[in-house]
């Protein structure tokens, strides 16, 4: 299903709202690395994000080693960033704060 891509000003506004996230070099995704107390805490956080991802049918690309979770958000159906990435990034911020 096609999804509308964010405009350049919309991308800038999103990054201003989410200072912990950075734009990937190609401009098509946002990224953030999180560190937790231990693997259990990291995996608990990932579980909450996974449930939200399934609910909203929007899924992160991520990589986990022990307490570290590297997350990339992009919208494949938009070939770049969409409002869905902003929504999931906001959820991730809340879930990470609750897990820290
Ligand atoms: N997750 N990040 C991301 N981007 C998508 O475009 C996407 C997704 N999860 C499911 C999904 N699209 C569905 O709409 C189908 O494309 C499978």
Q: Is 5 in the pocket of ligand 1 (CB under 6 A)?
A: no
Q: Is the pLDDT of residue 59 over 80?
A: yes
What's the average model confidence in pLDDT over 40-60? 98
Confidence of residue 100 (pLDDT cuts 50, 70, 90): confident
**Dihedral pair phi/psi, residue 80, rounded to 5°:** 165, -155
The pLDDT, as a whole number, for residue 50 is 98
Q: Which atom of ligand 1 is nearest to the CA of 60?
A: 2
Q: Is the pLDDT of residue 49 over 90?
A: yes
What's the average model confidence in pLDDT over 78-99? 97
What's the average model confidence in pLDDT over 65-85? 98
Listing DSSP states for 42-96 in one string gives HHHHHHHHHHHHHHHT---EEEEETTEEEEEE-BGGGTB--HHHHHHHHHHHHHH
Give the distance (Å) from ligand 1 centre to CA of residue 3. 10
Query: What residues does 32 pair with on adjacent strands?
Result: 71
pTM of the model: 0.96
The pLDDT, as a whole number, for residue 77 is 96
What's the average model confidence in pLDDT over 33-56? 98
Q: Is 57 in the pocket of ligand 1 (CB under 6 A)?
A: yes
Q: Which residue has the tokens 């579980």?
A: 47
């Amino acid at each position: 299903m096609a999804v509308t891509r964010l405009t350049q000003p919309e991308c800038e506004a999103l990054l201003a709202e989410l200072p912990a996230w950075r734009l990937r070099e190609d401009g098509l995704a946002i990224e953030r690395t999180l560190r937790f107390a231990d693997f259990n805490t990291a995996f608990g956080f990932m579980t909450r994000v996974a449930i939200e991802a399934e609910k909203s049918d929007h899924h992160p690309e991520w990589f986990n080693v022990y307490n570290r979770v590297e997350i990339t958000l992009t919208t494949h159906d938009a070939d770049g960033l969409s409002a869905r990435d902003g929504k999931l990034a906001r959820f991730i911020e809340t879930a990470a704060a609750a897990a820290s």
